[in-house]
Amino acid sequence: MSTVTIEPLAGHYLQRSPKLYPNPKKTSQFSLNYSRRPLSGTATLRFCDYRRRRTVPIRARSTDAAVIETSEQLDVVFTETFSLKRPERAVGKISIRLDKGKDEENWHLSVGCSLPGKWILHWGVHYTDDTGSEWDQPPPEMRPPGSMAIKDYAIETPLQGEAFQEVKIDISAKWSIGAINFVLKDEETGVWYQHRGRDFKIPLVDCLDDDANIVGVKKESNIWSGSLGKLSNILLNPEASPSKGESSSIDGFGAKNRRLEGFYEEHVIVKETLVDNIVNVSVKQCPETAKNILCIDTDIPGNVILHWGICKGDTKIWELPAMPYPAETVAFKNKALRTLLQRKEGGNGSSGLFTLDGGLSGFVFVVKLDENTWLNCNGDDFYVPLSNGTLHLEERKQNEESNSSQLANRLPEERQEGSVYTDEIIKEIRSLVSDISSEKSRKTKNKVTQETILQEIEKLAAEAYGIFRSSIPTIPEIAVSDSEVIQPDVKVTSGTGTGFEILCQGFNWESHKSGRWYKELQEKAAELSSLGFSVIWLPPPTDSVSPEGYMPRDLYNLNSRYGSFDELKVTVKKFHEVGIKVLGDVVLNHRCASKRNQNGIWNIFGGRLNWDEHAVVADDPHFQGKGNKSSGDNFHAAPNIDHSQEFVRNDIREWLLWLREEIGYDGWRLDFVRGFWGGYVKDYLEATEPYFAVGEFWDSLVYTYGEMDHNQDLHRQRIIDWINATNGTAGAFDVTTKGILHSAIERCEYWRLSDQKGKPPGVVGWWPSRAVTFIENHDTGSTQGHWRFPGGKEMQGYAYILTHPGTPSVFFDHIFSGYQSEIRNLISLRKRNKINCRSMVVITKAERDVYAAVIDDKVAVKIGPGHYEPPSGHQRWKMAAEGNNYKVWELS
């Protein structure tokens, strides 16, 4: 079932893009796939499989006819107009023809499209002597007029014509071309049209294996020897080439005694265009009967079916209302009704009247156009509040005017207090929390709705916090006694600071080797501040079995390979002096023992926290723990700590508070948080109230047969689940985004940077305020290189994370390298345009060779070799940053 979500007319929406997809009724023997460019804005298309359900016809009654007849005189208590985008489909064809020219050595390839649009042929060739690349640029004399080179691997040629657009390419045997590869692109929308999910491929020489994306070959034909797909061994392997003096088995385009044959094929496609329509909803009340008269009016042409029900109480659970029902109504699975709206005179749309009893909380519905197309509201059902949940229009207007006048006439001093306003915000937050609780109680949970509510809560909380912070400087300093100080009721630990943080990882895997790393950082503090960093992440400070610090032993011993206890304190103080917050790298999952037990097992700890085997989880076979089973994944190189033990949690809380007070850390980087439940992290963070906290939840992405899946929802959901377990008190490194950037940039598959809903595909697309984005760290890069970012392309990654929401983290090695000036420029641009962890992203292109997005309507960015320019119009863009395959613009 395809679903189009819509939004209220009062809200803004962006122009949606037409889509291409295969016609399910096409008769061609070739099945076609395509790369769909996600819709921008809040309205999206979703395609689901809805089975036809048995419906029961219900006869309408007219007992409330008098109420309906007099509805014109009733008071309107609710009215709303919704705009929507309705899909309209146009069927066309792509034609492919190969014809012989003047002789067997010359041929003509024609590719055409019958659908309107600005069509571009994106194509390249495969040379017979090239074993490493399927795509290369054709010789200059082969390129039709108007062609444009795309880097060094492809050509783009516009199709010409009016009703039927076409491009013709001349092919000569002297160019030694083994195959022609192409995709068709609608330049107006950025939609790619492929063949079975891959490029079209037209072979001109003998092939080995059957390749599903080949066109123009009859399976039963013996034109070439062997199967089709790859070039033959005689072309691929030099050892198989004919020796000197022997005649070659290849002549022209085909193998010996075989010839190339012409062909003509058509592939049916459907271009989907979104058309503007509206739905008007109004509710009137009859004072005599206390019934609600609901009117729905729409300009959608053709038959329109309303799939509807009612709600009682605070929940939005669908129920059947009491009879009577309108004409043309049938029951659906005893849980909803379907009513065919009545056509208006002249055929311009449909309308319907619904009589509902009083005492109901809401009317819920979706619009059904056919068995495969449904329209809803922002991914959820339409919800119309009835008498219990609405004010009369006049009352609503009076309240709005009253609120407006109060805000407009409020003096600056009164605004700065903001107490009444923040109280109202708190009420809204509580209401939203109730909403999400009721959403969770539904059998069919709607993630989009819950996500929207969470984002709204975050915005309101940030607004209240901003009002609170802005009021502090205006309060005069008055001497008061301790008894007069009012303590706040609620402690807030956001885990995201102000939302404008830019994080620097202040070390690499080799930093411990100098023995004076803290002193080296002190010397760089002013420079890091001038670059624009607001937070620095320092290495693990404790005594450790491993010199890097990640095998901690005595937690209160802060003399490490990076420097002494005193040097650490001076370093933190130095960064505070230049305005940079400091994160301590704390390893809470495991701890190395100081002594063996009576069985010779290392599980007796030393120092101030002299734990024994009762502090070790019971299900780690290496260390004979006597605690409870682990609440996460075991780290087998050291004893895993049992955080379910109260004495362990008390000791860790006390240690973290000591670090905050004694060293001056402002927050934490939490190592290997997969090893224990996020609820324990919540406990530690609520006790220490960090300015900023981020966890390392490292997990493998989703792969199928060695290829990274496009859909990484399962991967980012595991990270989200951990953040959720901390109650949002900590963020997490966005490993999902790093992995997707890897594949997109390394393989030139930039379409990966948009998920199925047109959002960023990592954690930053679901919970941006808790996503710490990065491209490299001490594990993935440096001398370890466990998962190194594609070499020479790091700035594409930084152009992405430094312009997008989330909190970006920049690796030390990249800061003090040839990339420094480019990184400085991007950080300056981010700060200048106030891009923050909650900024809004609209993805405008996500194609094979280019990704582009607009952030907060102020910054536009593109990465990849493909072409992109920000949208023209009343906005004027100027280039702000440019480098190897990336560009960034800002409004002038």
Looking at 618-755, which runs of residues are DSSP E strands? 667-670, 692-695, 703-704, 707-708, 731-733
Residues 696, 776, 794, 849: which is the catalytic one? 696
Place of tokens 């998962």: 787
- Helix, strand, coil percentages for the chain (3-state, nearest 5): 25, 30, 45
Pairing mode, strands 731-733 and 771-773: parallel
β-strand partners of 268: 93
* Tokens coding 824: 């400085």
Backbone Cα Rg of the chain: 33
**DSSP reduced 3-state for 417:** helix
CB 770 within 8 A of CB 732: yes
Strand-pair category, 807-811 with 771-773: parallel
Contact 343, 315 (CB under 8 A): no
CB under 8 Å to 92, separation ≥6 — which residues?
Answer: 113, 114, 115, 268, 269, 270, 271
Q: What does the DSSP assignment read for 748-761?
A: T-GGGGS-TTSS-S
Q: Among the options 439, 543, 671, 849, which is catalytic? A: 671
Strand, coil or helix: 657? helix
H or E element in which residue 271 lies: strand 263-285
Q: Angle at which helices 678-688 and 713-725 pack, to 10 degrees?
A: 50
Distance CA 608, CA 654 (A): 11
Burial readout 210-232 (b: 16 or more C-beta within 10 A, e: otherwise): ebebbbbbeeeeeebeeebbbbb
**C-alpha distances in Å from residue 407, one per residue of 400, 403, 466, 567:** 11, 6, 17, 52
Dist. CA 806–CA 502, nearest whole Å: 10
Question: What token pair was written down for 9?
Answer: 């007319």
| Residue recorded with tokens 């022609």 | 180
Tell me the β-bridge partners of 86: 275
CA distance 464 to 632: 36
**Catalytic (active site) residue 794:** no
- Please report, as a single letter, which amino acid is at residue 355: T
CA atoms of 268 and 193, how far apart (whole Å): 11
**600 in Cβ contact with 593 (< 8 Å):** no
Residue 69 contacts residue 140 (beta carbons within 8 Å): no
> Is 211 annotated as catalytic?
no
Rounded to an integer, what distance in angstroms lies between the CA atom of residue 824 and that of residue 264? Answer: 55
* Active site members: 671, 696
